[in-house]
Amino acid sequence: MSKYILAHDVGTSNNKAVLVDLEGGVHGKCISTYDIKYPRPGWAEQDPEDWWKAVTLTTRQLLADTKVSPSDILCVAYSTQMLGIVPMDEKRGALRQGIIWLDNRAPAEATWVMNKFLGPNVFAAIAGATISGKDGIPKLIWLKKNEKEIYTKMKCFLDVNGYLNYRSTGNMVMNWSNASAFGLDLKKKTWLEAIFKYIGIDTKKLAPLVRSIDKIGGLTREAAEQMGLLEGTPVMGGAGDVPSAAVGSGAVGEGEGHISIGTSAWVGVVTKQTPTGKNGVAAIHSADPEKALLLSQMELAGGCLKWLGDEVCRTEKADPSILNIFGYMDGKVAQIPAGSDYLIFMPWMYGERTPISDTYIRSGFLNLTPEHTREHLLRAVYEGVAYNIRWIIERVEKEYKFPLPSLRVIGGGALGHPWMQILADVTGKRVETVRNPQEAGAVGVAMTAAVGLGIYKDFDSLRKVVTVDRAFEPQAQNRQVYDFLYKSYRELYKDLKGFYTRLNKERCDQV
């Protein structure tokens, strides 16, 4: 009988349950969506119960669709969005809606924290990175200031991963990778308690830590009944979506990097070093207990394309004969010359983390003329995301000395061959896509669990699991126009920063 690992890839807009075999193959998947709530401009919250309902629904449906017996599930593991905050009561569970990573309610608290440490550079040297209003520590300060009763009552705070592990096993823990997004000593593998104490956060409210490869418990009777699995089925530590995807990319060796292009995008490099993050670049823990992950994340990538599909291609999206709106856009983009006739798009629709850290910057089309068509707008968005990724890559190579001669790409964006060719042309690097790129997070956390179960002896053994599906080489004829437009793209932020800060700070202050 075949055996499987049940991996849940719990993202910003949906949960994907994936059955992964012991060779990293995808045996089946099932998706359930949920909403994001925006109570105020800049705020973003989700109901933790929605995550759990999605997990139980997709588990039952997946077992029914694949006709796999619960006895053939070796373990459960969660790959989740990071930087969420769910205040937990020991008996009642979640005390409020989850504050998710998109939320930007605490820029003032971020500035206060860093100034308390004599500025961003000193804070980064201690904590591993500078912070913004979207990060966890400022939001915890905000919670203490603005929701004192909830802060006082909470036993600890959990993120999405910790909450789902709690619902599965009854244990409140946080794995190293997810905890490192808040404040973890990457060398000692402990909370940065001195920082939490110094800014006034009670360290007793920090959850116990576990490794991604640890078994944290078995499914409780209640959880097993709701999921349709066997009571006692092992639940592994799991990991954040970024560390999980890094494993699923196959880039698990020292200095190896990958790019994920989904709703957001990031460039990640695995290393045994413990680099100091700066200017929006973070150093977090990888799923591998022996390595860190240098992470440069941009807020929206595929999310910009989704906006295009929803708002600019409404007619086509509603057309039943067009089965895939992204495939439709790919076809249109291929008809427009490189550079979109000098139209530039800035993909900063929800602020940005890297290559610039700015919660007020926003998107726009620059140099729009009557000669530009809707198709030019489409291609400009693909190219704008690629410019931003090139900027990130150049910073990683220059500031952190990690050469990236080729780019291993995962996520839904890897399915768009025109986009991958644009990425190769803009960066001047070989681009490789992998098998099942959209399931890289699920496959990665499943293979992490497989290491924990002893099926693989270490993470280097996982190289054989991931195979390259297709490669794209840069086209020399497009280099000149892309180099010129990329230079212009970088100048835009400096020129427009003050304008967007004044505009959006005023907008937030008026609410």
Per-residue pLDDT reduced to its tens digit, 411-454: 999 999 999 999 999 999 999 999 899 999 999 999 999 999 99
Question: Are 227 and 333 within one domain?
Answer: no
- In-domain check, residue 453: no
pTM of the full structure:
0.87
Q: How far apart are CA 147 and CA 141, in angstroms?
A: 10
Among the candidates 237, 253, 286, a domain finishes at 237
H helix runs in 401-478, sequence order: 417-427, 440-452
Total structural domains in the chain?
A: 2
DSSP codes joined into one string, 119-148: SHHHHHHHHSS---TTSHHHHHHHHHHH-H
Question: Are 225 and 307 within one domain?
Answer: no
Question: Are 310 and 211 within one domain?
Answer: no
3-state secondary structure 34-66: CCCECCCCCCCEECHHHHHHHHHHHHHHHHHHH
- In-domain check, residue 255: no
- In-domain check, residue 344: yes
Eight-class DSSP state of 354: S
Give the pLDDT confidence score for residue 313 in this predicted structure. Answer: 94
* 8 Å CB contact between 74 and 229: no
Among the candidates 218, 237, 256, a domain finishes at 237
Question: Are 344 and 417 within one domain?
Answer: yes
Give the pLDDT confidence score for residue 83 in this predicted structure. Answer: 94
Q: What is the pLDDT along the chain (511 residues), one digit of tens a residue?
A: 689 999 999 999 899 999 999 999 999 999 999 999 999 988 999 999 999 999 999 999 999 999 999 999 999 999 999 999 999 999 899 999 999 998 999 999 999 999 998 788 788 777 767 788 989 999 999 999 999 999 999 999 999 999 999 999 999 999 999 999 999 999 999 999 999 999 999 999 999 999 999 999 999 999 999 999 999 999 999 999 999 999 999 999 999 989 999 888 999 999 998 887 776 788 899 999 999 999 898 989 999 999 999 999 999 999 999 999 999 999 999 999 999 999 999 999 988 988 988 888 999 999 999 999 999 999 999 999 999 999 999 999 998 999 998 889 999 999 999 999 999 999 999 999 998 999 999 999 999 999 999 999 999 999 888 888 899 999 999 999 999 999 999 999 999 999 999 998 877 666 5
Question: Are 346 and 231 within one domain?
Answer: no
- In-domain check, residue 373: yes
Helix (H, G, I), strand (E, B) or coil at 267: strand
- In-domain check, residue 126: yes
Question: Are 219 and 335 within one domain?
Answer: no
Question: Are 226 and 307 within one domain?
Answer: no
Token representation of residue 226: 């709701």
Among the candidates 189, 209, 237, a domain finishes at 237
Greatest distance between any 2 Cα atoms in the chain: 64
Token representation of residue 278: 């700066």
Question: Are 334 and 201 within one domain?
Answer: no
Give the pLDDT confidence score for residue 80 in this predicted structure. Answer: 98
Give the pLDDT confidence score for residue 418 in this predicted structure. Answer: 96
Question: Are 309 and 382 within one domain?
Answer: yes
Residue type, 99: I
What are the backbone angles phi and psi of residue 22, rounded to the nearest 5°?
A: -80, 0
Give the pLDDT confidence score for residue 383 in this predicted structure. Answer: 98
Question: Are 43 and 153 within one domain?
Answer: yes
- In-domain check, residue 317: yes
- In-domain check, residue 262: no
Beta strands in 141-243 (DSSP E): 156-158, 174-175, 184-185, 190-191, 209-210, 215-218, 234-236, 239-240
Q: Which domain holds residue 98?
A: 4-237
Selection from 180, 88, 70 nearest residue 136 by Cα? 180
Token representation of residue 44: 């973003």
Give the pLDDT confidence score for residue 213 in this predicted structure. Answer: 98
Question: Are 334 and 214 within one domain?
Answer: no
Question: Are 351 and 490 within one domain?
Answer: yes
The CATH number of residue 16's host domain is: 3.30.420.40
- In-domain check, residue 276: no
- Distance between alpha carbon 52 and the CA centroid of its chain, in Å? 19
H helix runs in 259-410, sequence order: 302-307, 314-318, 325-333, 374-400
Q: How far is CA 505 from CA 16, 42, 237, 260, 492, in A?
A: 36, 11, 40, 31, 19
Q: How far apart are CA 304 and CA 245, in angstroms?
A: 21
